[in-house]
Amino acid sequence: MDSTAHTPVNTSTTWRLRVRLEDSPGALARTTTRLAARDCNVLGLSVLPVPGGVVDEIVVTTPAGTAADDVLDDIRAEGGQCVGLTRADLREVVDRTTAALRAAAAALRDPSATAESVRVLLGADAVQVADPGVDDAAPDPDGRHRAVVRVGGAVLIARRGWAPFTDVELARVSALGEVLTAGEVTAIAPAAVLTSAGAGVVLRTGTPEDADAVADLHSRCSAKTLFARYHAGLRTLPKRWLHRLLQPPRGTTLLAVCGTRVVAMAQLIRTNDPDEAEISVLVEDSWQRTGLGSSMIARLGAVARGAGHRRVVAWCLPSEVGFERAAVASGLPVTLRREDGMVRVSLSVAARVGAGAVGVGVPDSE
């Protein structure tokens, strides 16, 4: 349940509630009458089948000075029980048909956006690509509600804290899968990009089989390029690093492959802040300034959106302008800030903007 539900706010707030009401005539009508008496505006009502019966979903806007707890008191007064409460995005919960169509369109345009499309359809906190052998019944380590879905050729794990996923919601994801299948779209398909030099490169997820190619990538990089990535003197890549680089326990590794050669590598790593993930990019010297780094950053931005992050950040030395340049060219809104002698590059992944419409903050002085 949303932790702010107990505190009155100074502005109107829209909430999404799931409640179990008494199985008696007029229970729902009496509940909405009580809400109206508080000047609450009921924007939507729907009935969701669940094991053992149904739950009613109510989308309601409360006036300034009213806490969600006040609404819950009215529900309890009519013998109801709240089983889920969260703040609502009006664009998603009031006009669900439009939201669903936009989610499908986003996945059709860009397969890497499939996880984000599933997150929108489910109203999930996060959706991430999982191993095909994942245990569907395993509990979530953070105690959140969890659902394993298969869509667009991928296995995805959806999580949220405020309410369990219902069969109706999961059916929407199944329908999205049918749309993507009809459009021959796969969520885990490699993406082809064309560099400014005219070379064709494939962006795909790294696997343990890429260990030798990734080691070769590092051996071809200059000391300056390796220092910019690792912020440490590094002549060769220790073998013990290869597994963690290709299968990080808290993230994703993206490779850029030309022919059989890995020419760049990027990573997205979750942090303790659910809104934020860290990214890093390593591009072979001869492939730098070709647009490859910006393409990889944009791709990881789509993965981060699907995972429920609002921004991705990277840390650079003040002299490292290459990453800053690639970040701006990725088309994501960028903010730069100096912290402890480093430059913090923050990219918003909440919404994609076109190239040339990027707002770049001025670095603070040390």
- CA distances to 3, 4, 57, 106, 112 from 109, rounded to whole Å, are 36, 36, 31, 5, 9
| Proportion of the chain above pLDDT 90, given as a percent | 28
pLDDT of 4 > 70? The answer is no
- CA distances to 60, 99, 289 from 94, rounded to whole Å, are 10, 9, 45
**Token pair 């082809």 is at which residue?**
192
CATH 3.90.45.10 fits 3-89, yes or no: no
The CA distance from 130 to 70, in Å, is 40
Mean pLDDT of the chain: 83
Q: What is the pLDDT of residue 3?
A: 52
The CA distance from 16 to 1, in Å, is 11
Q: What is the pLDDT of residue 336?
A: 92
- CA distances to 138, 159, 215, 312 from 142, rounded to whole Å, are 12, 10, 35, 21
pLDDT of 213 > 60? The answer is yes
CATH 3.30.70.260 domain span(s) along the chain = 3-89
CATH 3.40.630.30 domain span(s) along the chain = 191-348
pLDDT of 266 > 90? The answer is yes
Model confidence over 276-325: pLDDT tens digits?
Answer: 999 999 999 999 999 999 999 998 988 888 777 889 999 998 888 889 99
How many CB atoms sit inside 10 A of residue 291's CB? Answer: 18
pTM (2 decimals)? 0.58
Long-range contacts (CB closer than 8 Å, 24 or more residues apart) made by 183-186: 183/108, 185/107, 185/108, 185/111, 185/114, 185/152, 186/111, 186/152, 186/153, 186/154
Q: Looking at this protein, which amino acid is placed at residue 230?
A: Y
Average pLDDT on 112-118 reads: 86
CATH topology of domain 191-348: Aminopeptidase (3.40.630)
The CA distance from 319 to 339, in Å, is 14
Chain CA centroid to CA 258, Å: 28
Q: What is the pLDDT of residue 186?
A: 56
pLDDT of 43 > 60? The answer is yes
Average pLDDT on 166-171 reads: 89
> Which pair of tokens denotes residue 202?
């494939």
Average pLDDT on 111-124 reads: 87
The CA distance from 112 to 191, in Å, is 8
The CA distance from 302 to 195, in Å, is 19
CB-CB contact of 67 with 9 (8 Å): yes
The CA distance from 219 to 36, in Å, is 69
The CA distance from 201 to 195, in Å, is 7
276-283 and 311-316 strand pairing: parallel
The dihedral region occupied by 141, where left means phi > 0, alpha psi between -120 and 50, and beta the remainder, is alpha
